[in-house]
């Protein structure tokens, strides 16, 4: 354990954010007897280094919390695999197959790699293998499983009961044309399997059903058991509510979404989780890295030239500053990692904090090898 006087003085962001969360969520955490953190993944493309960064940084939070409280912690890694496939990623095979299945939930789109039952399942398994290879501790949750299995049903009923209030939150943020057709619920078309964005004609709260206008034809759908899914901002709030989330970090491009989701969860009766907005990961052109584009550097490319410890340190440093991720960055990151080891000989408390933050990769074992190599 790190000494209390050091913890009180440190400005390391995981400790700052952990203390903030413990203050903001104290009564809820005390009632639950545990702390739940969440990371999100959109499996419309293959996992990339940004996916790693979010789980790595959340794991750093967990390691900070272990120094501040004895309460158990859990990281939920949530896959939005019921989202409709909006476009075909550039970096996957069988492009025509995917084009034929646009707008279907990702777990209903055939796997272009022909390894799993669906494209969503393929990318979920890639994500789990990816995280397991770094020995992350997490609980995987599938949107499809929780919708279709009925886990979300009680919260979906609460969303429907608060339909008008939620519309009052969302509608002012939309253009006039979109306001005419917006509905928080997206039915799954029984004929095409597509996730539909269509207007509502009637709401039956008693029976948890909505009647939609599907191009002039009446479409009656239950909101339960995966017959509908929620629009993104409402879905995020619903997930926070149903899973009792205490903390979630997100990219700065989602700040406005987080504000609206916060209003929605407060409206339906729970306090929002503590949040942390990080800057985006960029490629060499300064563009946001994307799962569908496959731009930026991959985890495998980084580890080909440098240690996982250097990647861990890179993710730890300055999360509120945009980071460029391409090959030329790696040598600089390694130099900074080695420089930190040198500094740690003179500043004992820094190496303690660095070691604790690096536990996310089980670096305590492997780090001994590097310390012996570079400090002997």
pLDDT in tens, 260-317: 999 999 999 999 999 999 998 887 777 887 766 666 677 778 888 888 888 888 899 9
CATH fold, domain 4-174+232-335, is Rossmann fold (3.40.50)
Task: Please name the helix (run of DSSP H) or strand (run of DSSP E) that holds residue 230, with its range, or none.
Answer: strand 228-230
pLDDT for the residue 238:
98
Domain spans, the chain: 4-174+232-335
pLDDT tens digits, residue range 45-67? 877 778 888 999 999 999 999 99
Backbone φ and ψ for 309, nearest 5 degrees, come out as -65, -40
Give CA–CA dist 305/300, Å, rounded: 9
| Nearest residue to 44 (alpha-carbon basis) of 110, 112, 143, 123 | 123
- Contact of 159 with 238, CB cutoff 8 Å: yes
Tell me which residue has tokens 């979109």.
178
pLDDT for the residue 358:
53
Q: What angle do CA 112, 189, 215 make, to 5 degrees?
A: 125
Which pTM was predicted?
Answer: 0.89
Task: Please name the helix (run of DSSP H) or strand (run of DSSP E) that holds residue 37, with its range, or none.
Answer: strand 35-41
Give CA–CA dist 327/305, Å, rounded: 9
pLDDT for the residue 370:
41
The ranges of the chain with pLDDT < 70 are: 291-296, 344-376
- Contact of 40 with 78, CB cutoff 8 Å: yes
pLDDT for the residue 112:
97
* DSSP annotation of 272: P
pLDDT for the residue 184:
98
pLDDT for the residue 345:
65
Task: Please name the helix (run of DSSP H) or strand (run of DSSP E) that holds residue 278, with its range, or none.
Answer: strand 274-278
Helix (H, G, I), strand (E, B) or coil at 299: helix
Q: How far is residue 38 from each of residues 128, 136, 278, measured CA to CA in Å?
A: 15, 13, 15
pLDDT for the residue 303:
80
Pairing of strands 228-230, 185-187: antiparallel
- Contact of 203 with 191, CB cutoff 8 Å: no
Q: Phi/psi zone of residue 33: left (φ > 0), alpha (ψ -120 to 50 degrees), beta?
A: left
Structure tokens at 294: 């496959």
């Amino acid at each position: 354990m790190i000494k209390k006087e050091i913890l009180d003085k440190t400005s390391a962001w995981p400790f700052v954010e952990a203390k903030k969360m413990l203050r903001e969520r104290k009564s809820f955490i005390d009632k639950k007897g545990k702390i739940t953190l969440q990371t999100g993944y959109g499996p419309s493309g293959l996992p990339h280094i940004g996916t790693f960064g979010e789980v790595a940084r959340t794991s750093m939070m967990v390691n900070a919390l272990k120094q501040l409280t004895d309460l158990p912690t859990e990281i939920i890694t949530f896959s939005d695999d019921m989202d409709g496939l909006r476009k075909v990623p550039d970096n996957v095979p069988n492009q025509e197959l995917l084009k034929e299945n646009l707008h279907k939930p990702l777990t209903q789109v055939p796997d272009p790699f022909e390894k799993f039952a669906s494209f969503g399942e393929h990318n979920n398994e890639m994500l789990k293998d990816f995280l397991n290879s770094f020995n992350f501790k997490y609980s995987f949750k599938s949107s499809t499983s929780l919708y279709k299995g009925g886990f979300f049903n009680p919260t979906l009923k609460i969303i429907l009961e608060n339909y008008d209030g939620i519309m009052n939150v969302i509608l002012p943020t939309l253009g006039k044309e979109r306001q005419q057709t917006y509905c928080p619920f997206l039915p799954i078309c029984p004929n095409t399997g597509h996730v539909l964005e269509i207007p509502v004609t009637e709401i039956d709260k008693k029976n948890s059903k909505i009647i939609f206008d599907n191009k002039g034809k009446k479409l009656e759908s239950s909101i339960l058991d995966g017959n509908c899914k929620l629009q993104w901002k409402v879905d995020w709030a619903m997930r926070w509510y149903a899973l009792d989330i205490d903390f979630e970090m997100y990219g700065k491009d989602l700040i406005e979404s987080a504000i609206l989701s916060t209003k929605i969860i407060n409206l339906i009766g729970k306090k929002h989780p503590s949040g942390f907005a990080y800057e985006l990961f960029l490629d060499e052109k300064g563009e946001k890295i994307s799962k569908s584009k496959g731009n930026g550097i991959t985890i495998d490319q980084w580890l080909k030239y440098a240690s996982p410890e250097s990647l861990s340190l890179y993710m730890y440093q300055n999360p509120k500053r945009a980071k460029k991720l391409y090959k030329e960055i790696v040598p600089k990151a390694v130099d900074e990692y080695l420089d930190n080891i040198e500094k740690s000989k003179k500043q004992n408390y820094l190496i303690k904090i660095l070691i604790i933050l690096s536990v996310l990769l089980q670096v305590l074992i492997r780090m001994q090898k590097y310390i012996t190599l570079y400090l002997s």
